[in-house]
Amino acid sequence: MSYTIEGATGIWEIVCGLEVHAQVISRSKLFSGAATDFGSAPNTQVSFVDAAFPGMLPVLNEECVAQAVRTGLGLNAQINLTSRFDRKNYFYADLPSGYQISQFAHPIVGRGEVEIELADGSTRQIGVTRLHLEQDAGKSLHDQDPARSFIDFNRCGVALMEIVSEPDIRTPEEAGAYLRKLRTVLRYLGTCDGNMDEGSMRADVNVSVRHAGEAFRTRCEVKNVNSIRFVMLAIEAEARRQVEVWESGGEVVQETRLFDPARQATRSMRSKEDAHDYRYFPDPDLLPLVLDQGWVEGLRAGLPELPDAKRARFVRDYKLPAYDAGVLVAEQSTADFFETVARGRDARLAANWITGDFFAALNRTGRTIETSPVPAGDLGALLDLLGDGTINGRIAKEVFEAMVETGAAPGEIVERRGLRQVTDTGAIDAAVDAVLAANPDKLAEYRGGKDKLFGFFVGQVMKAMEGKGNPGLVNEALRGRLAS
Ligand code: ADP
Ligand code: MG
């Protein structure tokens, strides 16, 4: 899908690359044994290493390394068997050591790629430049006291993966699709919970604009955007600003900017002139990180089926349209739910119910698949009642709503409320006769050529039968009576 900005000097194209910070799921921090639980009381999860007490030594957490490698494998990326930790030096109140341990020249993961799907059904590959491990900083709290700021070091030292994309993104939609896909992959892998509300995934957005075919122009970086929607809005706002700068004869200068969602505009935070010189150097407390190929292969063998593979399997084995399969694999729990319902049943029908009535019910009740009032087994049982003719399609919707409301099993609801489909032709004929007798004027119009009234009669008979008539038999009976 093309997205361009029309300016006075012609058509502009957006160029965008994303740097995503993803918090690693691990019980303890990257270089200390302190816990990583979110939402704990301030400064209750801080070791001497995190607080940078003199003489404390970092000890690399193997699980964090494994998580980074799993993520690299999940992004079809090159795993670098030798990588190195560097100190990135800067002063900030929430960084007690005065440096962040990161990976600069030798990251643990090299080139990979992410396949994105767009609304028009097309797919694109977005290149991943690298993934490296680094420590998170603490958090300054400015809203606790009118006169003072506080610092919470709980987050200090928590492992982050910085995942840098190539400048391959061309539209806000592609950026959104990239982030959603990345989040899905991280969640499948269990390496990051992808929760942008809690800050466990955040993005720096690099944007430039150019006329098609030109070399890349100067970019600006919009820092720390914390929702996918805001990333998309920030790209659009920043690109429009740059087009205006270029077209008014100015020049875009490389700088760091912030996105203000209220104004839907970016503003300057610091220019390249005050850019930090981080004075990176290898951390003398840490040896180069050398991985064993066999260990990496063990992690590869332990990877779950990932969303692209699962989607292809759903299309192939369940004969689902690619779009529906994509919706079902977006969350692993949804995919599992679908497979439980579909097993031994009409898979397309299962998919339609899940993406239709079931998702609507979750939305309406504010539930998730984990807290769904209707378990997969019950939805499957409902499809069985539909499949074997115990109930008709209309009643199935009614039973489903009752399942959502009461949590009861479908069989129980059908029996308790007497919703079995009526297939007794005697009862259907009687209902047909009663409806025709009660509507002599409509009957005359029908016989006079107003064919459309057939639907009216079907509706009336179904109504008389409280929706429980077998639709095929009702149609057949009506046709027979109206023909005679
Ligand atoms: P830095 O380390 O200074 O942030 P990088 O070269 O690592 O710079 O690039 C950071 C991000 O900026 C990457 O995601 C990359 O894709 C993106 N990027 C690089 N050049 C451009 C450009 N001209 N326009 C938009 N994005 C760009
Ligand atoms: Mg950067």
- Ligand 1 atom closest to Cα of residue 208: 24
Dihedral sign, CA of 91, 95, 98, 102? negative
Ligand 1, atom nearest to 164 Cα: 14
CATH number of the domain at 438, please. 1.10.10.410
Q: Which residue has the tokens 């079809």?
A: 76
**463 and 411 belong to one structural domain:** no
Instruction: Find the mean pLDDT for residues 235-246.
Output: 97
CA of 257 from ligand 1 middle (Å) equals 14
Whether 313 and 294 share a structural domain:
no
pLDDT of residue 357: 97
Cα(187) to centroid of ligand 1, in Å? 26
Q: How far apart are CA 443 and CA 453, in angstroms?
A: 8
For ligand 1, what atom is nearest to the CA of residue 218? 23
**Ligand positioned closest to the Cα atom of 209:** 1
Distance 174 CA to ligand 2 centre (A): 20
> Ligand 1, from 16, 164, 220: best to mutate by most atoms within 8 Å of Cβ?
164
Cα 114 → chain centroid = 14
- Axis-axis angle for helices 425-438, 440-447 (nearest 10): 90
Indicate whether 380 and 406 sit together in one domain. Answer: yes
d(CA 151, ligand 2 centre) in Å: 25
Cα 332 to averaged position of ligand 2 atoms, centre (Å):
31
Lowest mean pLDDT, pick from 19-33, 70-84, 295-309, 428-442: 428-442
Do residue 64 and residue 152 come from a single domain?
yes
Task: Kindly list the protein residues whose Cβ atom lies closer than 6 A to any atom of ligand 1.
Answer: 15-19, 164-167, 206-208, 216, 219
Residues 293 and 317 in one domain: no
- Mutation probe of ligand 1 site: the residue of 134, 205, 206 with most atoms within 8 A of C-beta: 206
Q: CA 39, 41, 44, 49: dihedral to nearest 10 degrees? A: 50
Residue nearest to atom 20 of ligand 1 (CA): 167
145 and 16 belong to one structural domain: yes
| Domain-terminating residue out of 417, 442, 463 | 417
Judged by its nearest atom, the ligand closest to the C-alpha of residue 206 is 1
At how many degrees (to 10) do helices 376-387 and 393-406 cross? 160
Q: Do strands 255-260 and 220-225 pair parallel, antiparallel, or not at all (unpaired)? A: parallel
In the numeric block, which tokens belong to residue 362? 């979750």
Q: For ligand 1, atom 22, name the residue with the nearest CA.
A: 219
Among 398, 417, 436, residue at a domain's last position: 417
Structural domains of the chain, count: 3
Q: What's the 30 CA to ligand 2 centre distance in angstroms?
A: 21
Task: Check residue 387 and give its pLDDT.
Answer: 93
| Whether residue 1 has pLDDT greater than 70 | no
Q: Same structural domain for residues 332 and 411?
A: yes
Structure tokens at 42: 């301030």
- Residue 39's pLDDT is 87
Atom of ligand 1 nearest to the CA of 206: 26
- 378 and 278, same domain (yes or no): no
Q: What is the extent of the structural domain holding 352?
A: 305-417
pLDDT of 273 reads 59
The pLDDT of residue 434 is above 60: yes
CA dist., res. 87 & res. 279, Å (int) = 8
> Do residues 293 and 310 both lie within one domain?
no
Q: Of the ranges 143-147, 164-168, 473-477, which is most confident?
A: 164-168
CA of 104, nearest ligand number: 1
Q: Across 285-299, 429-443, 446-460, which has the greatest mean pLDDT? A: 285-299
Listed residues 236, 267, 298: the one ending a domain: 298
Q: How far is the CA of 449 from the centre of ligand 2 (A)?
A: 74
* Range 151-158 average pLDDT: 97
Q: Which ligand is nearest to the CA of 235?
A: 1
The answer to whether residues 409 and 331 belong to one domain is yes
19, 21, 178, 278: which to mutate for ligand 1, most atoms within 8 A of CB? 19
d(CA 106, CA 95): 23
CA of 406 to the centre of ligand 1 (A): 53
Whether the predicted model's global pTM rises above the 0.85 cut = yes
Taking the C-alpha atoms of residue 465 and residue 447, their distance in angstroms, rounded to an integer, is 24
Regarding whether 9 and 109 lie in a shared domain, the answer is: yes
Among protein residues, the one whose CA lies closest to atom 3 of ligand 1: 221
Instruction: Quickly state the pLDDT bin for 274 (edges 50, 70, 90).
Output: low
- Ligand nearest to the backbone CA of 208: 1
Give the pLDDT confidence of 407-418 residue by residue, as tens digits: 999 999 999 999
Of the chain, the percentage scoring pLDDT greater than 90 comes to: 87
Whether pLDDT at 421 is above 90: no
Three-class SS of the chain: CCCCEEECCEEEEEEEEEEEEEECCCCECCCCCCECCCCCCCCCCCCCCCCCCCCCCCCCCHHHHHHHHHHHHHCCCCECCEECCEEEECCCCCCCCCEEEECCCCCCECCEEEEEECCCCCEEEEEEEEEEEEECCCEEECCCCCCCCEEECCCCCCEEEEEEECCCECCHHHHHHHHHHHHHHHHHHCCCCCCCCCCCEEEEEEEEEEECCCCCCCCEEEEEECCHHHHHHHHHHHHHHHHHHHHCCCCCCCEEEEEECCCCEEEEEEEHHHCCCCCCEECCCCCCEECCHHHHHHHHHCCCCCHHHHHHHHHHHHCCCHHHHHHHHCCHHHHHHHHHHHCCCCHHHHHHHHHHHHHHHHHHHCCCCCCCCCCHHHHHHHHHHHHCCCCCHHHHHHHHHHHHHHCCCHHHHHHHHCCCCECCHHHHHHHHHHHHHHCHHHHHHHHCCCCCHHHHHHHHHHHHCCCCECHHHHHHHHHHHHHC
Of all protein residues, the one whose alpha carbon is nearest to atom 11 of ligand 1 is 17
Query: How would residue 3 be classed by pLDDT, with cut points 50, 70 and 90?
Result: confident
List, for residues 446-482, the tens digit of each pLDDT value. 988 898 999 999 999 999 998 888 888 899 999 998 8
Tell me if 156 sits within 8 A of 51, measured CB to CB.
yes
Ligand 1: atom nearest CA of 221 is 12
Which residue is closest in CA terms to ligand 1's atom 13?
A: 17
Are 195 and 290 contained in the same domain? yes
* Spacing, Cα 15 to ligand 1 middle (Å): 10
Phi-psi region of 178 (alpha: psi -120 to 50; beta: other; left: phi over 0): alpha
